[in-house]
Structure 1
Amino acid sequence: MTEFSQGPVMWQSYMAIIIFAATYICILIEKWSRTYTVLGGALLMVLLGIVPIGKAISTYANWHALIFFISLFIISVVFQKNGLIAYLASAVIRKFRLQPLMIMLGLSLLAAVISAFVDGILAIAIIIPITLSTAKMLKLSPVPFLISIILSANIGGAASLLGNVPNRLIGAAAHLTMGQFLAALAPLVIVMLAVIYIAMWILYGKKMIVSDAHKRELLSLQPKSYLTQDRILLYGGNVVLALTVVAFALQGWLGWKTSYIGAASALVLLALDYKSLWRLVKSKNYRLVLNGLLESQILFFFGLFIMVGGLAYTGASGYVAMRGLEISQGSVPFLSMLVMWLTSFGSAMMDNIPYVAAMVPVIEQTGTLLSGVSDVAITPLWWSLLVGAAVGGSATLLGSTVSMFAAGIAAQDGGGLSQREYLIVAGPLSILLLIVATIYFNFFLL
């Protein structure tokens, strides 16, 4: 459908929008579990007949994407156990102990790389606690460190198919490969990271003055202590991860689905970590399994896919696509800029995951409508949506799961980062990054 449903089911279109909007607000309030909230919204859509249950499960619940997501969750959980990321972070701190600014930039760059090729949440979960303890040793405010790392994780995660969750949603919907992601966006991400680090150097370079006594405390860090004693998991895990990244990079040439590559890697890593798996089976700790299922967000995405399917099935997504084409008069370059800037501002005000999920069928409908009148490719629209989500998710602490997770860890450790402190720096920087992205798009992607 390209317009709202007409006749006796017109009310279903409005109800789909109301349910999605109400669910979105509940997610922002964070008073209830986002997983249960989304599942409740999806169930309500099915019960009201907004989307048929058969179509919801067979068509809108993207099973390849769900397998891909759960596989990456397993990969990040198992890989966290081998201690390599913590080792690298502590090695950076020890090496640059005489230069606090270099510690900040080194940890930020590490967060960007890990976010691009493993997982942003994993990078934050390991690097932020080490960063906070380092700032305490140096008697420095952790705020500059936190801002730089959060920005790096969000922007770095935009470089590849494995990065931010919006990347995975878009990759699954548009059937984009790792190679396409890297070719189109890696250069832009490198430029944007350079802009961030130059800005952090200008803002904080002369303020990071530390006494020699405090610097010597960092000598107590022993990077090797973070590495697991399980050599099979340590070396095997690193080899599997490297092969997985290579397989994703060659996906287009190999012709393998991302879900199959991810699932194979996850199964091999679980086999390497068989001791933990066996202990879990023997303990019969079903609550731990349930908690893991919830943390993987697989149920969250299952419900989200069905809700977004409801928007598409009732014609709401098609209506938005039609209005966008009318405004742009079918110009893909104009639409790309519109999508990027609107997505950025929208993501800054709310979590970018449901925002992108709602926009995916709109872009798909736009492609369907354009295909009837021209052969223009809509790939730039996908890149615009992705970059807008990454930059917008960096602008505020509400913009992405990575930002909110980092702020939560800092608050628990007593090194809280307020929304105001973050926005003062990240807000103007995000505008600058959007301008850089606009220039890049007009020269290389449009």
Structure 2
Amino acid sequence: MRPLFALAIFGVAFFFIATEKADKVKVVLIGAAAMLVLGLAPGTEVFFSEHEGIDWNVIFLLLGMMIVIGIIKQTGVFDYLGIWAAKRSRGEPYRLMVMLMIITAVASPFLDNVTTIMLVAPVTIVVCERLKIAPQPYLIAEVLASNIGGAATLIGDPPNIIIGSRAGLSFNDFLVHMTPIVVIVFVLFVILSRFLFRKGLKHNPEQVQAVLALQEKRAIRDPWLLVRCLVVLAVMIAAFSLHSVLHLEPSLVALIGAGVMVLVAKADVPEVLREVEWGTLVFFVGLFVMVSGLTHTGVIESIGDWAVAAIGDRYLLAATALLFGSGILGAFFDNIPYVATMTPVVEGVVEQAPDHRTGQSLWWAFALGADFGGNGTAVAASANVVALGIASRSGHHISFWQFTRYGVVVTVFSMVLAWGYVWLRYFV
């Protein structure tokens, strides 16, 4: 009965989040409270357990980067980039979208997709406000691009860090095995986006002329503050990229960077903290607690065990099930706790593989499904939730279904291409 109660609570909460009949933060807090009161989540262990608790690495990574972005925002650099991008694209909607998607996809493998969205989303909103056009299509396209691009490296998407640690896969392993299909999917996604977002790409010629007349250099309010902030940010990016050498979690890098940024900028702390998306952080905490209920009651493990039994020694079927199964399940559960929960199950299947190549193919199928499945719904990946929070705070609300109707198409498209890649590379 306990698994059924956990499923019922999660299902009801997901219904209210998807239909937006109630505030999503209230929903996850009530759902988390129900899991804890009924003993479905692991009590106080939810604050400490690595596999059945809140992923504090994600929470503190977000907190640190929100503080960093809040300070950088004071320099006026986002206004500068917004004017620059608008002028370079000459206000042509599709060209502007492609520019922003390329920036996002190229940065995501090295910064991680959450950090990239936190940097690019404010720029996008500034650009669109200058051009008097709706930013929602551009923000959605960027999030989809970030989840695709982030799949390319060990540090680009949080699930990859979890998988790499458990499977003993290096940064170079991800480059060799994941980057080729990521490049293919992204290039085709850029082409697809012209048709996918065609109704939302509006042109405003009168406003374009006004923007072209602006001088972006005047947007920088404090050049020396910008220099100091960029130096700190560059060091943080280097630390993110050297994760396997420094053995510093991205969350620690973000928190240390935030502290240094506050010091070098001589920032007013209360003002900086007002820039933090507290609602987004609380939403993640509640969501982690609800997923811990599914984990603690054995729901997700039962699904995994059933899958292992059904697959047997048919390893192409196993790769297919991992890829599509992770994409589908990952669309409904945040892919970070989902991957953390399912990794031991995948490890058990890999141990039964007849050779190293076959075993590795299962890890790559799992990673591709989890990463690309992050585009499935508005709550499927951390970057999605962060982007929607930034948009809402800026007065440009993106609904669950507005995001999801694009995300589902891109997810199916990406997973079909990924399956073809896995089949050709590891089984033909």
2:233 maps to 241
- Residue number in structure 2 paired with 1:284: none
Give a deviation string over 1:251-307, Cα, whole Å, max 9, x none.
Answer: 212233333322211211222333321x549xxxxxx76x9462351x333333333
The answer to whether structure 1 residue 439 and structure 2 residue 423 are counterparts is no
Of 5, 20, 26, the residue aligned with 2:10 is: 20
Q: Of 23, 37, 40, which residue of structure 2 is paired with 1:50?
A: 40
Measured after TM superposition, the shift of residue 127 of structure 1 is 0.5
Q: Is residue 70 from structure 1 mapped to residue 63 from structure 2 by the alignment?
A: yes
Query: Could you list the per-position Cα deviations for residues 211-245 of structure 1 after superposition, in whole angstroms to 9, with x for gaps in the alignment?
Result: 9877543322332233341523x112212222222
Cα distance change, pair 167–74 in 1 and its aligned pair in 2 (3 A):
farther
**Displacement of 1:419 after TM fit?**
5.9
**Alpha-carbon separation, structure 2, partners of 1:271 and 1:345:** 44
Match in the other structure for 1:327: 310
- 1:323 Cα deviation after fit: 0.5
CA deviations on 1:403-426 (whole Å, 9 max, x unpaired) are 675699499878999968994x76
Aligned to 1:190: 183
The structure-2 alpha-carbon separation of the partners of 1:225 and 1:388, relative to structure 1 and needing over 3 Å to count, comes to farther
Query: 2:278: which partner in 1?
Result: 294
C-alpha distance in structure 1 between counterparts of 2:74 and 2:166, whole Å: 31
Q: Secondary structure at the match of 1:275?
A: coil
Matched, 1:120 2:117: yes
Q: Structure 1: which 5+ residue stretches go unaligned?
A: 1-10, 282-287
Q: Alpha-carbon deviation of 1:400? A: 5.8
CA RMSD of aligned residues (A): 4.4
Cα gap change, 1:269 to 1:147, in 2 (>3 Å): closer
Match of 1:363 among 335, 338, 343: 343
| Local SS of the residue matching 1:309 | helix
Shift of residue 111, structure 1, vs aligned partner: 3.3
> Which residue of the partner structure matches residue 98 of structure 2?
105
Note the C-alpha offset of 1:249: 1.6
Match of 2:257 among 249, 260, 265: 265
Which residue of structure 2 lines up, in the alignment, with residue 134 of structure 1?
131
Question: Which residue number corresponds to residue 309 of structure 1?
Answer: 292
Match of 1:3 in 2: none
Q: Distance in 2 between matches of 1:437 and 1:203?
A: 20
Moved more, 196-205 or 121-130: 196-205
Supply the distance in 2 between the matched residues of 1:334 and 1:175 (Cα, whole angstroms): 23
Task: Name the SS of the counterpart of 1:32 in structure 2.
Answer: coil
Give the aligned residue type for 2:255.
A
**Aligned twin of 2:320:** 337
Within the candidate set 34, 37, 42, 2:27 is matched to 37
Q: Count residues in correspondence.
A: 417
* CA contact 1:120–1:163 (8 Å) conserved in 2: no
CA contact (8 A) 1:330 1:370 kept: no
Which digits, 9 at most, give the CA deviation of each residue in 1:52-107, with x for residues without a partner? 42432321334444433432333333344444444334223213328654333212
**Inter-partner Cα distance in structure 1 for 2:341 and 2:11:** 16
Cα distance 1:121–1:445, how it changes in 2: closer, same or farther (>3 A)? Answer: farther
Distance 1:347 1:64 in 2: 19
For residues 37 and 375 of structure 1, do their structure 2 counterparts lie closer, same or farther at Cα, with a shift above 3 Å needed?
farther
Question: Would the alpha carbon gap of residues 415 and 307 (structure 1) be closer, same or farther in structure 2, given more than 3 Å must change?
Answer: closer
Counterpart check, 1:254 vs 2:246: yes
* Aligned 8 A contact 1:56 1:309 in 2: yes
| Matched residue type, 2:122 | A
- Compared with structure 1, are the counterparts of its residues 145 and 192 closer, same or farther at alpha carbon in structure 2 (3 Å cutoff)? same
Deviations 1:180-201 (A, max 9, x none): 6555534433322211223346
Is 1:318 aligned with 2:297? no
Q: 1:267 and 1:438, CA in 2 relative to 1: closer, same or farther beyond 3 A? A: same
Query: Which one is further off, 68-77 or 187-196?
Result: 68-77
TM-score (norm 1): 0.73
- Cα-to-partner distance string for 1:317-337 (whole Å, 9 max, x where unaligned): 221111010122155653333
State the Cα deviation string for residues 132-161 of structure 1 (Å, max 9, x = none).
54365xxxx978756644532442344456
Letter paired with 2:369: G
Q: Which moved more, 1:176-185 or 1:323-332?
A: 176-185
Which piece of structure 1 moves more, 170-179 or 299-308? 170-179
Q: Which amino acid aligns with 2:343?
A: I
Look up the equivalent residue of 2:278 and give its one-letter code: L
* Residues 90, 221 of structure 1: 8 Å contact kept: yes
- CA distance, structure 1, for counterparts of residue 127 and residue 202 of structure 2: 20
**TM-score for the superposition, normalised by structure 2:** 0.76
- Is the Cα contact below 8 Å between 1:65 and 1:168 reproduced in 2? no
Check 1:316–1:224 CA distance in 2 against 1; reply closer, same or farther (3 A cut): same
Identical-residue share of aligned pairs (%): 23
Contact kept in structure 2, 1:120 and 1:164, CA below 8 Å: no
Using a 3 Å threshold, how does the CA distance of structure 1 residues 394 and 318 change in structure 2: closer, same or farther? closer
